[in-house]
């Protein structure tokens, strides 16, 4: 009878440990890739209150969100567990390289190297659109004005 009680206690402890470990793993997965893009937009609005967001695209894993602003500028938000780090990309301060997969590109942010990385999107169209935003952002507004005046 005594061994039955000991084994019962051991079984209950193992079950509680398994339940707790599973619950913690699920919580970590949810916090890892903050897929609440509404929260991301609020964070960007807080960081840059004078910028109006026109369009938004997130990477397939939800760890990076790119925003297209009303005046043609581009921004990036990187998920860091419980918050987003927001960065407004200045003209001429980003380099983009295509990758073998058409849904991916590598970007190097000269003003914010912590944002550098390989970005993979759900579709080829999303990756192409965001890379065009970044490449369009590569040309400064002064260069655009000169090109329009000469045309």
Question: In this structure, are 134 and 69 located in the same domain?
Answer: yes
Question: In this structure, are 46 and 97 located in the same domain?
Answer: yes
Question: In this structure, are 67 and 51 located in the same domain?
Answer: yes
Q: Which residue has the higher pLDDT, 93 or 17?
A: 93
Q: Which residue has the higher pLDDT, 22 or 104?
A: 104
Indicate the average pLDDT of the chain: 80
Under 8 Å between Cβ of 79 and 64: yes
H helix or E strand, kind and range, residue 7: helix 2-32
Residue 106 and residue 58: Cα distance in Å, rounded? 15
CB-facing half-sphere around the CA of 78: CA atoms within 13 A: 14
- Angle ∠(136,94,43) on CA atoms, nearest 5: 90
Question: In this structure, are 73 and 95 located in the same domain?
Answer: yes
**Structure token digits, residue 30:** 């949810």
Percent with pLDDT over 70 in the chain: 81
pTM of the model: 0.68
Question: In this structure, are 23 and 48 located in the same domain?
Answer: no
Question: In this structure, are 68 and 136 located in the same domain?
Answer: yes
Containing domain of residue 118, as a range?
37-147
Tens of pLDDT, residues 18-44: 777 777 666 544 444 445 677 878 888
Question: In this structure, are 52 and 86 located in the same domain?
Answer: yes
């Amino acid at each position: 009878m005594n061994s039955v009680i000991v084994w019962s206690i051991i079984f209950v402890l193992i079950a509680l440990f398994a339940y707790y470990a599973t619950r913690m793993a699920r919580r970590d997965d949810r916090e890892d890739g903050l897929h609440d893009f509404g929260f991301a937009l609020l964070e960007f609005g807080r960081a840059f209150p004078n910028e109006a967001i026109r369009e938004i695209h997130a990477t397939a894993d939800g760890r990076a969100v790119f925003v297209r602003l009303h005046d043609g500028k581009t921004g990036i938000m990187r998920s860091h567990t419980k918050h987003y780090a927001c960065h407004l990309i200045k003209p001429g301060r980003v380099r983009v390289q295509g990758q073998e997969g058409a849904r991916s590109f590598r970007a190097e942010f000269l003003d914010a190297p912590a944002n550098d990385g390989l970005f993979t999107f759900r579709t080829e169209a999303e990756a192409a659109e965001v890379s065009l935003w970044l490449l369009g952002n590569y040309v400064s507004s002064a260069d655009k004005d000169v090109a329009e005046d000469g045309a």
